[in-house]
Amino acid sequence: MKCFGLIGNPLGHSFSPLIHKHLFGIKNIDASYKLLETTPENLKKRIDELKSGEYDGFNVTIPYKIEIMKYLDEISPEALAIGSVNTICMKNGKVVGYNTDYFGFKRELEYYNIKVEKQNAYVLGTGGASKAITKALENMNANVTLVSRHPKNNIIGYEDLKSKKIDLIVNTTPVGMYPHMDDSPLDEEIASKAKCIVDIIFNPSKTKLMSYNKNSYNGLLMLIFQAAEAEDIWLDKVYDIDYNKIIEDVRGDIGE
C-alpha cells in the first residue's frame, strides 16, 4: 500500500483525505492519506520520512508552501516561477517540489465559466496560494492587484478597495475558515460591488465573505482539481477521470 499525507498546521478543517479516498478509489489504487500536523522544527523530519520510504508523497498547505522549498533537492520550473510548492515526492532519488494549486485554480475558473481576461482581479493575501493564483490570473490576462494588511510597493491595503472598480475578488487568506466562520476579510460594502468572488476556503462551504455577494464560489473544486494533479505526479501517470462524478461524490459526503 502506498502512503501519502498532508503537511500543515492546523489541519482539522481539511477535506483532503476524503477527496484522495475518492480519487484512489476511482483509479483502483491501494493507498492511504493522512493528516500530518507539523511544527516548523519538524519540517525536515517530514522530508526524511519521504526519503526513507515511509511516505510516497506529500501535499503541503498553510503555512509551509514557501518554507518547505529550502528543504527540497529540486523544484519544478513551474513551482519556481510561482514561488511556492504544494506537492512533493521522490524522483530519481531526489526530493522534488511541484505546484498544483495553479492547475487547480485555473480548472475551477474554467469549470464555473468565470472569465478573467482584461478583468480587474484583486487577490487577498500574499502567501503560497496567493502566488499560484496570481500567476494563473496573469497568464489568463487578468489585471491583477495584490491586497494585504501590510501594503507596500505594488501591494495595496484593504481600505484602498473602496475606490476601485472590482470585477473579481479572490480570497487566499484563512480569514473565515472553520472554526472562525463569523470572520470576513472584507465588509459587505466592498464585497457586494465585485462582479464575482472566489473564496478558496472550502470549510465552511459558504463563508461570510461569500454571503456578501450572490455570485460567489468556494475553493472545493480547486482542492479537487489540484489533488488529482498531485496524484498524477506522485504516481507518475496521467489518469483520465470523471471529474463530475468525483465532485458529486465529495459534495454528497460533506453535505454541500
Which residues are known to be catalytic? Answer: 65
8 Å CB contact between 168 and 195: yes
8 Å CB contact between 223 and 15: yes
Could you tell me the three cell numbers for 201? 476556503
Burial grade of 209 (CB within 10 A; 0-12, 13-18, 19 or more): buried
Q: Can you count the helices (H) and strands (E) in the chain?
A: 9, 11
Residue 24 makes CB contacts below 8 A (sequence gap 6+) with: 30, 31, 33, 231
- Kindly report the CA angle at 108 between 107 and 109, in degrees rounded to 5? 90
**DSSP notation for 226-243:** HHHHHHHHHHTS-----H
Burial grade of 139 (CB within 10 A; 0-12, 13-18, 19 or more): exposed
**DSSP notation for 110-174:** HHTT---TT-EEEEE--SHHHHHHHHHHHHTT-EEEEE-SS-BTTBBPGGGGGGS--SEEEE-S-
Could you tell me the three cell numbers for 17? 483525505
